[in-house]
Structure 1
Amino acid sequence: MTGRILWADGTPTPGSGTGATAEVPAFILVHGIGVSHRYLRRLHHELARGAHVYSLDLPGFAGTPKPGRQLSVEDYGAFIAQALKVSGIRTYVLVGHSMGVQFAIEAALYAPAQMQKLVLMGPVVDPRHRSVQRQGLALFVDFLLRESPSSNWIVLTDYFRCGPRWYFTELPVMMAYPTEKRLPGIDVPVLVLRGSHDPVAGPDWSLRLSRAASQGTFVEISRTGHVAQHLRPAAVADAIRSFTTAPSALP
């Protein structure tokens, strides 16, 4: 499987030996189904003002080669953890969005010693949308009423680069993944973050997930939809920084 790791000026090249430490872990941004690092770019640059930040393009998405078989969420989680290890990025905070939440959970379960904290933005799949039709309707409402033209352009062009074959290969994987059952296995602090106008990840579902974590926190970003990190990147970055700099609860 083949993916990409991207970084901005000021962040060490993966494998350089000058990356994150246990005291200052790197942020790893993980995109959702069909898209790429591009809709996380504004958040990447906000976080990079004071930290090392890496964004991923996962196999099958963003024009990367399509794997020869359907990949499970566990497959993607293992790929992320192994790719970060090979790249010399040994301690980190994973920040997943949408289906990237699922990938991040599995990466944390695969390599728990490397995980410092976990950020879950716009988590799927909300029980209100457990059918493909309902999930599609929620995404359409978000696209039509909640997102900016620039956000919609990035998402649509990324869908085109992904292509329908791989999107619909992975869609049933996303729909079947039991997020609420896998999350309690995470022992590090978890932030669940949603836009206050997000029709995809509702408030009840997001709050429930935060309570399912052993050390869970819930934050809403006002006046934003599902892709909150694009419309209000500074507010999202501030929420993430506040969470990651707060002391962890004692075991």
Structure 2
Amino acid sequence: MSNLRNSNYYFVAVNYGTSRLIKEWALNIREITINPSLVLVDNYKSDDERIKVIKLCEELNIKLIKNINNGYGSAINFALKEIESEDKNEKIYFAGNLDVIYKSIPLDLNNYNTCYIPKVKEGSRANRNPFLTKLQSKFYKNFIYAATSKSNKKYMLLVMINKLIGYIPSKIWTVHGSLFIFGSKILTNGEIFNNKSFLYMEELEFGMFLEKNNVSLHSSNVVAEHISHVSTNDIVASRDKYINLWADSFLNWKERWMKK
């Protein structure tokens, strides 16, 4: 039975112009797990990139889901829906970026009704989790002032305040967006991410989904390193472009979850 130890582990990654990362991502996962399922969503960038992706997925035995480029969270939603339609068995999902290098993955993740908290190293930061605490999540509604004005200065001021709030002891509310780990049973509550949003706010969508559906977060021994901004460099080349994308996603998040 040892060859089935991780057969319920599904690794889902989103590609947009980063086919150079696919082989390392696949080999890394297979080196430290046994019999995992690998799924890649290719958000279309060009014909040349799509050809490279198809070839790599065939060589590395990765399930390829071809998609238009409609964003990060939406692509994960799309993949989860297709996987669940094909495989009704309970499973643990590792969903996120291609620029994640796994250092440790335990063999015994088997709670299909929960979210697992990984340790995510990024640059000089030893761990990006918690991404937001419960106390920080309560303050986040104030980011509306930056979103409606699309002001970088207001945004940065609110980020600084929220970072200070993070020093106040409070339980974790959501995890860093490079890697989401969760059991398949939580998907009975609907789609996790916002299909209206192109990029950013995935962490907030995830946190609110967990909160509204009473999904708990459990610690884990998953350890990974995120090579920051590798997956988004081709999309976000300036602070102005970032704030525009973020503001639209914030307003979509507010509309989805903060309805009266």
Please report the TM-score for the alignment, with normalisation by the length of structure 2.
0.29
TM (norm. structure 1) is 0.30
> Relative contact order (alpha carbons < 8 A, sep ≥ 6): 1 or 2 greater?
2
Higher helix share: 1
